[in-house]
Chains A and B, each alone.
Chain A
Amino acid sequence: MTPTCRAARTLSRTPPNPYGKDALVATSVRATSDGSPPSSRPAPSTSRRGDPGAPGGWRTRLYRFDTKASPYAYIAPFFLVFAAFGLFPLIYTGWLSLHNVQLGESGSGSWVGFDNYTNLWDNQFFWKALRNTFTLGVISTVPQLLMALGLAHLLNFKLRGRGFFRVAILAPYATSIAAAALVFVQLFNPDYGMINQLLGHFGVDGIRWDSSKWPAQIAISSIVTWRWTGYNALIYLAAMQAVPADLYEAAALDGASRWRQFISVTIPSIRPTIFFTIIVSTIGATQLFGEPLIYGGGVGPTGGTDHQYQTLSLYMYDKGWQVGQLGQASAVAWVMLLILLLIGAVQLLFVRSNRRKLGG
């Protein structure tokens, strides 16, 4: 079989989901290690039918109890922690969102039904925050993922000091949001910041990065992009390294250029990883909080003097902790969850249809 032919075959049956194989492996491993308890199950049942007072009776029962209950005990810590810090807050927030509850007020608040939600529907600041969250999400996620793809592609080549570059691109991710945001605040300062000084050389003067809507949103999204590009690039790089080298060899023999290889071999091969990063970045963008808060300084919680860059998270924080309307803040939290689920569902449908297309 010529390499070209093999590559073509592999290309045509690009696995619908490369995780599928891993998952299978994992299951089979678990099955073998778990194999013994099911096979020994008949033993206790026979002894139960026998004399219960026999000396071996309690021991068998204990054994049965051990095999039945122990697994639950082993997984219990996770579920207990999840119940305390995941499920309970979720349900409690839902309960709060149906009540009028003030921060710092004792008592359980009064039942208001879906008022908190209908109030959001009529609230201009909520819609503004929703729009800002969307625009900030788009202008931070799209360039970030595209740049990450490019970076990963470059790092995938054999180049000198590859290890250094790989660590270097992850450095922003290791920086705290506060530190990064404060540095960007200085860079984007309209009066003495470096960006405006540089732009001044090109005849662009006095951009109000702090108060004009789009400049401020661009500045904030640049913090996000700076922090997360390297992280995503590393994920892409890991996926790219799993792409068999012979695919590239075959493509090269077919006369495909580097660009063509990137488009036709790399991208399709790491498509599941791309979907993964899109989902994670979307979740991150929807919850965008620290960057605009710190970037805004004194007007952080309201996201600028005119709410120019107030995200949903900031709006929720403002409602809950600055104003003390826990009920309304909880309603915002639930709306955010629903929006995320909606986006997740749309993405899932997209992935499915994509897979079907590839499969068919």
Chain B
Amino acid sequence: MRTSGRTRKAAVIAVAGLATCATLITGCSSSDNNGSKGGKSSSSEQITLHIGDFNEFGYNDKTGAKLFSEYEALHPNIKIVEDNVTDGQQYWDSLKLHLQQNSGLDDIQAIEVGYIAEAIQPALASKFLDFKTVKGFSADDWVSYKEKQATTASGQVIGVGTDIGPTAICYRSDFFKQAGLPTDPDQVAALWNGDWSKFVQVGEQFKAKAPSGVAFTDSAGGLFNAVLSSQPTQYSDQDGKLVYDSSPGVKTAWDLSAQAVKEGLTAKLQQFDSNNTWSAAFKTGKFATVACPSWMVGLVQTNSGPANKGKWDIAQPPQAGNWGGSFLAVTKASKHPAEAAALAQWLTGAAQEVKIFQKFGNIPSNKGGLSDPAVQNTTNDYFGAPGKPAPTGKIFATTAQSIQPAPIGPDDGTVKDIITKNGLLDMEQRGTSADKAWSNVKAQVKDKIGE
């Protein structure tokens, strides 16, 4: 009697347990579906669009240009939810897994230019909507190279361009003055106009009379990226095949950076290091120049602090290059691809990109936005002499017009990391010779990519 009682009790518990499990499982999956339920939707049906992005795209209501609520006001049946991940690398790593599993995907996913070449490989590209099939899409709306980067070998366009990163040079006019160099942006730009090797020569002049403890530029890695971004050949060839060890662009950038290290022109810092040594060095004035993509301007400002206002200025770079920028892609997993594509197109339209620029300084990749007077006439009074704020809009828009597109490949990011972190930084910090550092780079690329 006692035993059977116990058995019954156990059975009850087991059933209860199973029921709980079942509720949990169904609970999970039903809530999963809620996000984008409805299948084919008519224009009047209430739908929710999820947009996944990283860092700060400047769309939201809190800190951004309030574009989401503007769009929701225009389309009362659409609600937009942003899934933001702070770290770009982390965002991409998990997005790759989501794409592979075909689950957990948002309607719209942002892709950084550093990963776009990986995203246009067949395995991943097949998960994205082809914008060429979308009504009203024209690749010519964006600067020429932007949409090319998001086009697969078979001609599919997987994303629309948000911002770009035309690169100028930020410099400390007070240090330049002490070193006997001109301080006016035009005269400074004339010092190195047309050739990055002149930039290094200016560095040598600077070093000869430099204030003590001030290096010419922040890091060999930053210099390398800036030089390479202006080169017509970079890490990969037209087919996306890795050719970094025979690429003239990489050789130019490496040789100039290695020369700068050897001559002691760099402050031996690592950009964006998590120990904040680099960002702290802005405030303490450890270097006189830093390669400045448009998105770097805000960083120079916040890292240097209000005390250094008016000491920085911006000049045209030796050669125009692009460093950074992003795309918006629509996933095939989306339940509302047409609505999602329409939203992505609207967000990357000229008027919207201008609004983001005004709020955040991201340079529009949309041609209409780039030539908009609101962008062209923008100045930044943190930079430049008193009463003569730096014409940032004009500098970056001009640079953006003359950028030459370079072919990109899926392994670019890995090689870039190895060259800047394990090659150049090793030379800077441990005094490794350029030849040894290069053979280290080759060994590590071989280890990681197998080529």
Asked whether B421 lies within 8 Å of A211 as measured between CB atoms, the reply is: no
CB-based contact A103/B270 at 8 Å: no
Q: Contacts A125-B447, A299-B422; is A104 near B100 (CB within 8 Å)?
A: yes
Which residue in B96, B100, B422, B449 is a CB contact (below 8 Å) of A306?
B422
Q: Is the CB of B274 within 8 A of A208?
A: no
Q: CA–CA, A104 to B123, complex, Å?
A: 9
A211 to B426: give the CA distance in the assembly, Å.
8
> Is the beta-carbon distance between A305 and B4 smaller than 8 angstroms?
no
How distant is the Cα of A307 from the Cα of B448 in the complex, in angstroms? 14
Smallest CB–CB gap between A55 and chain B, Å? 12
> In the complex, what's the smallest C-beta–C-beta distance from B438 to chain A, in angstroms?
13
| Contacting residues, chain B, for A189 (C-beta < 8 A) | 275, 277
Closest to A211 in B: B429
Query: By the criterion CB–CB under 8 Å, are B270 and A298 in contact?
Result: yes
Given known A104-B124, A123-B447, A305-B421, contact A191–B97 (CB-CB < 8 A): no
Task: Compute how far the CA of A307 lies from the CA of B447 in the bound complex, rounded to whole angstroms.
Answer: 13
Q: What 1/0 mask marks residues of chain B from 408 to 444 whose CB sits below 8 Å from any chain A CB? A: 0000001000000110011001101000000010011
Given contacts A62-B3, A105-B123, A323-B448, is CB(A305)–CB(B425) below 8 Å? yes
| Chain B nearest CB, measured from A34 CB (Å) | 16
In contact, A298 and B272 (Cβ under 8 angstroms): yes
Chain B: interface size category: 20 to 34
Contact A191 B100 (CB under 8 A): no
Is B3 touching A63 in the complex (CB atoms < 8 A)? yes
A residues within 8 A CB of B4?
Answer: 59, 62-63
A66-B124 Cα distance, complex, nearest whole Å: 53
Task: Give the nearest-CB partner of A298 in chain B.
Answer: B273
Contact status B275-A208, CB under 8 Å: no
Closest-by-CB residue of A relative to B8 is: A62
Q: Does A86 contact B (CB under 8 A)?
A: no
A251 contacts across to B, CB distance below 8 A: none
A106 at the interface (CB under 8 A from B): yes
Q: What 1/0 mask marks residues of chain B from 17 to 35 whose CB sits below 8 Å from any chain A CB?
A: 0000000000000000000
Q: With contacts A103-B96, A191-B277 known, is A305 near B429, CB below 8 A?
A: yes
* A104-B99 contact given A212-B430, A299-B270, A321-B93, CB 8 Å threshold: yes
- Asked if A266 CB lies within 8 Å of chain B CBs, one says no
Q: A32 at interface (Cβ–Cβ under 8 A)?
A: no
A298 B274 Cβ-Cβ under 8 A: yes
Question: Within 8 Å of chain B (Cβ to Cβ): is A124?
Answer: yes
- Chain A residues lying within 8 Å of B443, measured Cβ to Cβ, are 124-125
Q: Which of A191, A297, A305 has the most CB of B within 10 A?
A: A305
* Chain A contacts with B in 197-238, Cβ cutoff 8 A: 208, 210-212
Q: Which of B3, B275, B430 contacts A211 (CB 8 A)?
A: B430
With both chains docked as a complex, state the minimum distance between the C-beta of A168 and any C-beta of chain B, in angstroms.
Answer: 28
Indicate with 1 or 0, residue by residue over A93-124, a CB within 8 angstroms of chain B CB atoms: 00000000001111000000000000000011
A302 on interface, CB distance cutoff 8 Å: yes
Query: Across the interface, do B6 and A302 meet the contact criterion of CB distance under 8 Å?
Result: no
Residues of the A chain whose Cβ atoms lie less than 8 Å from the Cβ of B6 = 66
Contacts of B377 in A (CB 8 A): none
In the assembled complex, how far is the CB of residue B45 from the closest CB belonging to chain A, in whole angstroms?
33
Among residues of A, the one whose C-beta sits closest to the C-beta of B118 is A104
| B123 and chain A: residue at smallest CB distance | A105
Is A316 in contact with chain B by the CB < 8 A criterion? no
- What are 20 A-B residue pairs whose CB atoms fall within 8 Å in the complex? A63-B3, A104-B96, A104-B123, A106-B123, A125-B443, A125-B444, A125-B447, A185-B275, A186-B275, A212-B430, A298-B270, A298-B273, A298-B274, A298-B421, A300-B274, A302-B421, A302-B422, A302-B444, A306-B440, A323-B414
Using A62-B3, A66-B3, A319-B448 as known contacts, list a sample of 14 further A-B pairs with CB atoms less than 8 Å apart, ordered by residue number in A.
Answer: A103-B97, A105-B123, A123-B447, A124-B443, A125-B444, A125-B447, A208-B429, A211-B429, A297-B274, A298-B272, A305-B429, A306-B422, A323-B448, A325-B448
Interface of B toward A, CB cutoff 8 Å? 3-4, 6-7, 10, 93, 96-97, 99-100, 123-124, 270, 272-275, 277, 414, 421-422, 425-426, 429-430, 432, 440, 443-444, 447-449
Question: Which 10 A-B pairs give the minimum distances between C-beta atoms?
Answer: A305-B426, A104-B96, A211-B429, A298-B273, A297-B274, A297-B275, A323-B448, A297-B273, A305-B425, A63-B3
